[in-house]
Structure 1
Amino acid sequence: MMKVDIGINEQDRIEIAQGLKLLLADSYTLYLQTHNFHWNVTGPQFRELHLMFEEHYTELATAVDEIAERIRTLGEIAPGTYKVFSELSSISEVEGVPAAKEMIEILVRSHEQVVKTSREVLKLAQEAEDESTASLVSDRMREHEKTAWMLRSTL
């Protein structure tokens, strides 16, 4: 492949891509968690939560693609296996099927973790004057902060 020459030095590109890989792993793990809860939620709020979780995982499906494509734009390989995602993600898998309220609490914590991971990547992007990554990550932060707020509001 040709050398990437987009005005960001190689070391910065690699560091930013590494941060994006962590964000991708967290986002994909959250996608799986949300999809699992969509399929398995029960209780008096079933319909509301089932539909809300579907909205969330649909949005996350687009997000993981955008993050992976940014990694590729920076000249690095995007991770794409469960094994690698589980090694990179700071979000733990959930055992069994929790009650609806616990699902919401878990999702709030997971969205908040994605925000924290995003903040770290944002710093790297800003230091390297990588506005494309900074914009992508800033948008992701805003989406996850809003989603966490909405989920907290249902409790």
Structure 2
Amino acid sequence: MSQQRQVLQQAGTVEENAVRFDVEKAEQVVQALNLDLAASVVLSHQLRKHRWSVAGPQSRELGHFLGEAAAEADRHTDALARRIHEIGGVPLSSPAAFERHSPVPFEGEDVYDVRTSLENDLEAYGDCIESVSSHIELAESLGDHATGHLLRDHLADLERRASAIDGLLAGDSLTDR
């Protein structure tokens, strides 16, 4: 590994950018996007953890669902980090920073039954939905419509997954009254 190090941009800073988005406005958007980035990383980790430990008669189907959900969270993580860079910011990148900034708390290392794991996932999705929703309004109020569009797509996927998990947790309508 090279011993020579040259910092190109310090973490926590926002610089002039190729998309010509005002630096002062970009600082606010970068701060918000870094929260959503951290939440997406925490969510992805939690979904993967649940995929690794899922057991029971539907473990194959649930494992597949959780794997797809984690991959989707990873795609959003990448998109958020790229947008932060495009508007002159530095995306969070350390596990400690993700934990510190995420509106979704780390679940911890314990293993839970499938129902509890899915309930925890639904709660995490709810936290992400609230955060992203408020950041859409922020970005668009500052004139950053590209970020607003990115976050709207992210929000639609979050809501779709939350609805699917809610359906998995629902009682059997044919037998429950």
Whether the TM-score (by the shorter chain) exceeds 0.5 is yes
Range 87-96 or range 67-76, more displaced: 87-96
- Counterparts of 2:57 and 2:164 in 1: how far apart (Å)? 18
1:118-155 Cα shifts (integer Å, max 9, x gaps): 01211111101211100010011110011000000011
- Counterparts of 2:17 and 2:103 in 1: how far apart (Å)? 29
TM-score, normalisation: structure 1: 0.95
Runs of 4+ in 1 over 6 A off after TM superposition: none
**Equivalent residue, structure 2, for 1:153:** 167
Query: Structure 2 matches for 1:46-125, cutoff 5 A?
Result: 46-95=59-108, 96-125=110-139
Equivalent residue pairs, number: 155
**Equivalent residue, structure 1, for 2:11:** none
TM-score, normalisation: structure 2: 0.84
**Equivalent residue, structure 1, for 2:40:** 27
1:22-64 Cα shifts (integer Å, max 9, x gaps): 0000000000000010111112221111010011011111110
Range 42-51 or range 63-72, more displaced: 42-51
How big is the shift at 1:70? 0.3
Q: Say if 1:115 and 1:144, in contact at 8 Å, map to a contact too.
A: yes
For 1:56, give the aligned amino acid: A
Instruction: For structure 1, list consecutive stretches of 5 or more residues without a partner in the other structure.
Output: none
Q: Indicate the structure with greater helix content.
A: 1
Q: Which protein has the larger Cα radius of gyration, Structure 1 or Structure 2? A: 2
How big is the shift at 1:93? 1.6
How big is the shift at 1:3? 2.6
By relative contact order (CA 8 Å, sep 6+), the higher-ranking structure is 1
* Percentage of matched positions with identical amino acids: 23
Instruction: For structure 2, list consecutive stretches of 5 or more residues without a partner in the other structure.
Output: 1-7, 9-14, 170-177
| RMSD (CA atoms) | 1.3
